[in-house]
Every structure is written in C-alpha cells, then in structure tokens.
Amino acid sequence: MAAHTYIAISELHPNISHSKVAGIIIGKTDVKSFPDRKNIGMDRFTFGFTVKDSPDFFINVSAWGNDAYVNGLASSISIGDCVTIENPLVATKDLEKGDRFCPATPSHYRLLVTEAHSQVCLCADMDTIDRLLSLIHLPVKDSRDFYSLGDIVANGQKLDGSVINILAAVKSIGDTKQFTTSDGRRGQRLEVRLFDDSVSSFPLVCWDREAIHLMQPLIPRETVLFIADAKISFDSFRSGMVATVNSKSIITVNPDTREASLLFSYAKEVSESGALDQDDMPEDVPVESITDVYTVSQLMQKARENPEALFGITYSFISKLDLDSSVSKVIKTRCSKCKFLVTEDLNSCTNQLCPGKDQIVSATTGFDLLVDFTDHTGTLHACSLRSPVAEKALGCTKEEFISLTDGERTAMKWKFLLERCKIYVKIVPSPKMKSGIRGMILDCSLADAGEVKQHMSALLQQRL
C-alpha cells in the first residue's frame, strides 16, 4: 500500500471514518482484564500502545475485546514494530479517566481498536517502514528537558512523587524476580542500575513485563536511555531516591540527540578506564585466607554462576606477559581515588565520577599489566596484574624495570612465560569483557613441584 494512503496522526479527528494509520510503536503496556458488566462472570481484556508517525506526533491506542483477541494482538506486536491500524475509532481524550494513566501525547484524541471493527497488522510497505524506523530514536520530550542523576540526588525528597524525564546510561541489568501477591496475582520486578557523569549508580525499577522485555536485551555501558515521565520516589529501605517506569513512561533507547551522544561518549570512556568496575569492586580478602583450588574452567564456570566476587587458587601457566612492550604499556599512572588512568602532566583527574575531581590529582605510578593464564582446561584472558603484587612477582621495582634493556625485559618475560605458577585470583562480573568476567591477580609465584604434584593427584582423584 502506498504511503500517501495513510492518514497522518496530526490530521485525525472523530469525523473521519475508515481511516488507516501507519506508525512505529514507541511504547506498550501489559494486558489487563476487568469484569464485564454486560456479561456477568465474563472478563474484558485490554492493553495499550503508542504509535508515532512523525518527529512531533504520536497517539495512544487501546485494544479491547475477549481474551483470545487482546492477548493474541498483544503477543503479535512489540516496541519498535511498524504497524498499520485500519478503521480505529477516533475518540476525544478524557484526562479525568483512563487517559491520565497513559503517556502524554500532543494529540487531542486516542484510538480504540476492537476485533469486530478494526485491524492492526505489521506494516509491509518498505518505503513506509524506512520512513518510520528512525523515529524510534527520537525522544517524545524536548531532548534538553531532563534531570541528571546528580540533580535527582541533590534534590532528594523534594522530588518524592514527582514525574520527570531522565537521561542516563545503563550500568547493569539485574535478574527478573518473580513473585505472587497475597491475593494470588503474579508479578515481576527488574532493577536496572543507571549512571551519568554526576552519579555512578542509580536504581531504575520496572514492574511491567513490556518494560522488562525492553530492558533485558540492552547492553550495559553501551546504551543510553531517555526516560520520559519516570516516577521518582524516596525509598526508606535504601535511604535514597529511586526511579520507576510506569504506564505513562516512554523509554527511548540510544536517542539521536546531542545530549545523548555526549553521554554515550562519556560512558564508553569511563567503562574502558575500569572506573565503573572499581566503583563496584568488593574488598579483597587476605591472600592467606584463600584456600579453594580450581582449574581455569572451574574458575570461569563458578564465577559466571555467582554474581559475587570469587576468590581462588589456580596452578596455571602464564601464557601472555607483555613485559617487552613499550614501557608506557607496562608502567601506568592512575588516580589514587578512582583508579582512572591519568597522564602525569594533568593537575586533576578527568573522571567526572571521581570523588576528588575538583582537587589536585593524587596519582600512583606502577606496573599495570594484562596477563593470560592457561591450564589443560582453558585460558582466562586479560587478568589484571598491578603493583605492588606485580613488583613482588617479578622481583623488581618499577624504577629498576624502567632501567632494564630490551633484552633484559625479554629475559624476565621468559622466566615466567610457560612456567607453571601458583596464582591467587579474584574474579568479578564484568559486562564489558567478552567472557563476562574479569580477573585480578592477588599473588603470583612459580609453583613448587611438590604442590603441583599434589594438585594433579587431587584432580585425578576427582575424575575417578
């Protein structure tokens, strides 16, 4: 069907009959049911979605009918789909009733669709789809009209109960929790952690299945959200503010705006620096208290199954140790407060989340290596080996290392490379790593032959 046969949302009014609208779905609510007053003992079902056909116009659509029709329609369309809506009823919005729970739209009207009179289907016209797809990345509110997370925290309980717009990046996505209420209704809850250049972690809670489905596949630290009409409340349990997605909220993923682009660049920079990992990193435990011994594959499997930090010992070969790279890749300078990489000529830390960002930078310089270790079960890549652990393992200070010749650095590398070592390691979740985990070496030394023999015997007994 040619695009010119569609009626623009901006031109809709109740006197139009047999209209046909095309738009991209930018929001969708869960299916709900109510007792049917006309048919005692029966339920009526409904759900809503919001469609957009131009940068400035979008409209709410409500579907009503029996269980099969409404749930069938709801399961056939999703946020981001381009749809055509044939013969909807164009009705004037009633902000005193149901429309006050729907997203705010520039239209004076809403659309009603029923099985008997209307049809909603996926758009098949490629020209129309191409025109509509870019609209999914345009926020429904002014791109400059938002609170930073720092603004929310600073205002605190003054914002309790407010509905505001938020621009933030996704830091982490939790697991969906299922629950049953006291009256037998089933529900679900998902918590997403947000961050920006003012706050390193802020909770966003989703209760609706549709919002949860939208959030689950997002890539942490690589996704920016513009959340229109999020509800802000004070959580007494946390003693802090929390944002909640509600039936009025419209979430725009990776908005095509200048503000979102700047935040995306910041998110990429701070993620690559490791500052976000440092912010969430649990305290180390004393090395002498670590006694559990693992193979590399056991370490990786156990770490993926457990969201908490895993501490263990592995008898493995150092398979990558780039001591003969340029000195600047082996010796690095980091901010003492946030561990952000800095250059020595800077007077302050460039990490906007650093607690000392407005102070003269306090930095430490030392070994800063990424090491691979391998055994017969696999390889754990890019494990952090930093001072002072690295100085103890290598047997030299950073000053002594800098003074070595290229040949001496290569000789030091081969002293460890492909030698079996006793490695104390901490493994933490890290979404930015391909493996999903990140290792930090807490202690490393060449393994004693007797210990290795005992370890191999224990592994053999496990197999038997």
Which domains does the chain possess?
A: 9-134 (2.40.50.140), 149-273 (2.40.50.140), 287-462 (2.40.50.140)
User: Contact at 8 Å (CB) between 337 and 362?
Assistant: yes
- Residue 282 clears pLDDT 60, i.e. is over it: no
C-alpha 113/C-alpha 293 separation (Å) is 62
User: Contact at 8 Å (CB) between 106 and 58?
Assistant: yes
> Residue 329, SS3?
helix
| The pLDDT of residue 353 | 63
This model's pTM is above 0.85: no
Amino acid at 275: A
pLDDT band at 325 (very low <50, low <70, confident <90, very high): confident
| The pLDDT of residue 346 | 64
| Distances in whole angstroms, Cα of residue 118 to Cα of each of 21, 106, 113 | 11, 23, 5
C-alpha 279/C-alpha 202 separation (Å) is 13
- Residue 280 clears pLDDT 60, i.e. is over it: no
| The pLDDT of residue 432 | 63
- Residue 255 clears pLDDT 70, i.e. is over it: yes
Higher per-residue pLDDT: 335 or 209: 209
| The pLDDT of residue 2 | 45
**C-alpha dihedral (163, 165, 171, 174), degrees to nearest 10:** 40
Q: Which pLDDT tens digit goes with each residue over 129-188?
A: 999 999 999 999 999 999 999 899 888 889 999 999 999 999 989 888 888 877 777 889
* Of 184, 178, 148, residue with least CA distance to 166: 148
Q: Which pLDDT tens digit goes with each residue over 189-237?
A: 999 999 998 888 899 999 999 999 999 999 988 999 999 999 999 988 7
* Of 172, 179, 152, 343, residue with least CA distance to 240: 152
Average pLDDT for residues 243-256, to the nearest whole number?
95
| The pLDDT of residue 307 | 67
- Residue 279 clears pLDDT 60, i.e. is over it: no
| The pLDDT of residue 338 | 67
| The pLDDT of residue 45 | 92
> Residue 170, SS3?
strand
What is the average pLDDT score of the chain?
A: 86
| Block residue for tokens 């200048």 | 258
